[in-house]
């Protein structure tokens, strides 16, 4: 089960998790910087990959929201603006087991938000 990190998260986070044996990819591993979201959402949905992003607007912008639904993407939205890299790493690592549990137990398309401390994961509607 692959977890795909959006461009708004550093590639180092994905690479670091991969070094620990996790099945992760970063947008820049597969696409050029700035590739429109609806393009890569289609690809990751078709491949059955799960998304981690800080871009909460994906759920609301029509092209992206429609791609989430049409291509059955399971998405995890990280809360917290202007977080330092160590805070972001802690957030993801603290909730990693819950992300994997939801990816296995829930049927895409779905959206969850993760609080800035990595302690709470909440299901969201895909508007």
Token reading at 5: 């990190």
**Full domain range(s) for residue 81:** 3-124
CATH of the domain at 111: 3.40.50
The upper half-sphere exposure of residue 75, i.e. CA atoms within 13 Å in the direction of its Cβ, equals: 31
For range 30-39, the mean pLDDT: 96
127 pLDDT above the threshold of 80 = no
* pLDDT recorded at residue 126: 87
For range 74-103, the mean pLDDT: 96
Each residue of 6-17: pLDDT tens digit? 999 999 999 999
Each residue of 66-83: pLDDT tens digit? 999 999 999 999 999 889
* pLDDT recorded at residue 82: 87
Domain count for the chain, please give it: 1
Q: Is 82 in a helix, a strand, or coil?
A: coil
The model's pTM: 0.96
């Amino acid at each position: 089960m692959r977890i795909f990190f959006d461009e708004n998260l550093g590639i180092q986070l994905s690479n670091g998790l991969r070094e620990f044996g996790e099945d992760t990819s970063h947008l820049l591993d597969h696409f050029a910087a700035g590739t429109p979201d609806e393009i890569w959402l289609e690809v990751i949905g078709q491949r059955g990959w799960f998304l981690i992003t800080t871009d909460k607007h994906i759920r609301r912008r029509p092209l992206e929201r429609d791609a989430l639904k049409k291509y059955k993407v399971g998405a995890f939205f990280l809360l917290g603006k202007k977080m330092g890299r160590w805070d972001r790493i802690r957030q993801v690592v603290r909730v990693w087991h819950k992300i994997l549990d939801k990816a296995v137990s829930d049927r895409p398309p779905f959206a969850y938000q993760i609080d800035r401390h990595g302690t709470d994961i909440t299901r969201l509607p895909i508007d």
